[in-house]
C-alpha cells in the first residue's frame, strides 16, 4: 500500500520526523515550524501562526507548537550558559583567584 511517503524517509526516521505534518489544517511540517521559531524567535503560538500559519486553524497542533517553543528556549539558554563558561577565567568563582 502506497501512502505517498518516499522510501528514503521510511529508512531515515530523523528526516521523516522533521517532515511530519504538525498543522494539518495548513499542511505545515515540523521542520517548517522549527525553522520559523529559529529565524523569527516568536514568543507565542500566535507569533508562530503569524510567521508561518501553523496553529491558525483548528488549534489541535498548539500543544506541539508549544513544545517546540519550549525546546527552543531551553536550547537558547544552554547556548548562553555555554558561551558564558567559555569566556570565564579558569579559576572563576574561587576566592583566591586573581586577587
Give residue limits of the domains in the chain: 7-85
What residues does 28 pair with on adjacent strands? Answer: 23
Name the pTM for this structure.
0.68
Cα angle, residue 55 at apex, residues 51 and 26 outer, rounded to 5°: 85
Q: Cβ distance 5 to 13 under 8 Å? A: no
CATH code for residues 7-85: 1.10.10.1100
Tens digit of each residue's pLDDT (9 = 90 or more) over 51-75:
999 999 999 999 999 999 999 999 9
Cell 507565542 belongs to 44
Amino acid at each position: 500500500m502506497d501512502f505517498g511517503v518516499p522510501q528514503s524517509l521510511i529508512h531515515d526516521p530523523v528526516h521523516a520526523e522533521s517532515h511530519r505534518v504538525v498543522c494539518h489544517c495548513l499542511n505545515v511540517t515540523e521542520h517548517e515550524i522549527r525553522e520559523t521559531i529559529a529565524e523569527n524567535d516568536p514568543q507565542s503560538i500566535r507569533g508562530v501562526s503569524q510567521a508561518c500559519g501553523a496553529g491558525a486553524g483548528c488549534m489541535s497542533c498548539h500543544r506541539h507548537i508549544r513544545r517546540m517553543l519550549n525546546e527552543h528556549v531551553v536550547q537558547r539558554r544552554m547556548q548562553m550558559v555555554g558561551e558564558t563558561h567559555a569566556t570565564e577565567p579558569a579559576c572563576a568563582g574561587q576566592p583566591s583567584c586573581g586577587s
